[in-house]
Amino acid sequence: MKPSTIFIIIGLLIISLYCVIDVSYYSSQLEIENKSTTPVVVVPSIGVNEDINNKSVYDGVYHEPQSFKPGNGTVILFGHRTLYGSPFFKLDKLKKGDVVYLDWPGIGRAEYTVVKSFIVDDSYLMPVDQGQTLFLITCHPIGSTQQRLIVQAHLKEIDPTQKIIHKPNPHNYYGVLIILGFLIGGLVLTRFYPVEEDRKILMGVVVALTLMLIYMYFFPIDPDFISSKLLEINQFFGI
């Protein structure tokens, strides 16, 4: 087996682990129960329609526990820009005047209007006593954790009669598309790999890793666990 083949196999393994993070994430989202008690953040201008959790940013959009619910004070929401469903991937596209809705069980629909966005260092601590304000926070730039992009919005009104209607989020099925994309990409790579005698080996690796992704889709594991292992691998290779 050629050294180049070994490097490609290592690359495929690392890529598959990144795929496992989102495959596990999307699969686990399909199993969330008690939707009637789950708040939702909706941002029509950038296509966001995500459940809000009180567990971790690795589970999607995370509500900072030291902040408040809509109408009771400052609301702070965190979300990843890459991986873990990338709920705030397009957060930088929000502009002044855009609308953000928080559908919150027991409260109703809170409508916020974006007033500005700004960038701070990752060490910045957000005060939680800024009145009836919403902050959406994510990493910046894409793929980096060195800074934070913050979108600030002010509460316009709360409609207590608005019923929370949970619609199936089509993003939850992206796990299947990720698996298909990995398989197709791997097959194309194998087909055009110049070392003909190693093509069968690459084919076997691609099929094995695809089967692993399928397994992870039906039996998801904690995405944060995979993320920690990837960090160790990247540190080993000095990435």
With beta carbons less than 8 A apart as the criterion, state whether 51 and 225 touch: no
The structure's pTM equals: 0.78
Measured distance CA(140)–CA(146) in Å, rounded: 7
Q: Say whether both 87 and 112 belong to one domain.
A: yes
Residues near 221 by Cβ (< 8 Å), separated by ≥ 6?
A: 20, 24
Measured distance CA(64)–CA(235) in Å, rounded: 30
Q: Say whether both 66 and 104 belong to one domain.
A: yes
Is pLDDT above 70 for 6? Answer: yes
Is pLDDT above 90 for 209? Answer: yes
Quote the mean pLDDT of the chain: 87
For 212-223, how does the pLDDT look when each residue is reduced to its tens digit (9 = 90+)? 999 988 888 777
Average pLDDT over residues 64-93: 92
Instruction: Tell whether omega for the bond before 141 is within 30 degrees of 0, i.e. cis.
Output: yes
Q: Say whether both 53 and 150 belong to one domain.
A: yes
Q: Say whether both 56 and 145 belong to one domain.
A: yes
Rg (CA), the chain: 21
pLDDT confidence bin for 167, thresholds 50/70/90: low
pLDDT on residue 227: 74
With beta carbons less than 8 A apart as the criterion, state whether 141 and 161 touch: no
Residues near 49 by Cβ (< 8 Å), separated by ≥ 6?
A: 40, 41, 42, 167, 169
Single residue among 159, 193, 212 that ends a domain in this structure? 159
pLDDT on residue 65: 92
Q: Residue 33: inside a domain, yes or no? A: no
Eight-state DSSP code of residue 203:
H
Is pLDDT above 90 for 137? Answer: yes
Domain that holds residue 107: 39-159
Q: Say whether both 134 and 188 belong to one domain.
A: no
Return the structure tokens found at 54: 């009180």
pLDDT on residue 233: 67
User: Amino acid identity, residue 74?
Assistant: T
Q: Say whether both 98 and 17 belong to one domain.
A: no
pLDDT on residue 234: 63
Q: Residue 55: inside a domain, yes or no? A: yes
- What phi, psi does 76 have (nearest 5°)? -125, 125
pLDDT on residue 172: 61
Domain of 73, CATH number, reads: 2.40.260.10
Considering only residues 225 and 46, tell me which one the structure prediction assigns the higher pLDDT. Answer: 46
Q: Say whether both 45 and 145 belong to one domain.
A: yes
pLDDT confidence bin for 59, thresholds 50/70/90: confident
Determine what percent of the chain falls in helix, strand and coil, rounding each to the nearest 5: 40, 25, 35
Q: Say whether both 45 and 152 belong to one domain.
A: yes
Q: Say whether both 155 and 187 belong to one domain.
A: no
pLDDT on residue 200: 93
Considering only residues 145 and 138, tell me which one the structure prediction assigns the higher pLDDT. Answer: 138
Q: Say whether both 90 and 47 belong to one domain.
A: yes
pLDDT on residue 96: 95
Whole-number percent of the chain with pLDDT over 90: 54
Is pLDDT above 60 for 205? Answer: yes
- Give, in order, the Cα–Cα distances in Å from 124 to each of 52, 74, 115, 127, 149: 23, 17, 20, 10, 11
Q: H or E element: which one contains 155?
A: strand 147-159
Whole-number percent of the chain with pLDDT over 70: 88
For 75-88, how does the pLDDT look when each residue is reduced to its tens digit (9 = 90+)? 999 999 988 888 89
Considering only residues 165 and 68, tell me which one the structure prediction assigns the higher pLDDT. Answer: 68
Q: Say whether both 60 and 155 belong to one domain.
A: yes
- What is the total count of domains within the chain? 2
pLDDT confidence bin for 225, thresholds 50/70/90: confident
Q: Residue 17: inside a domain, yes or no? A: yes
pLDDT on residue 170: 56
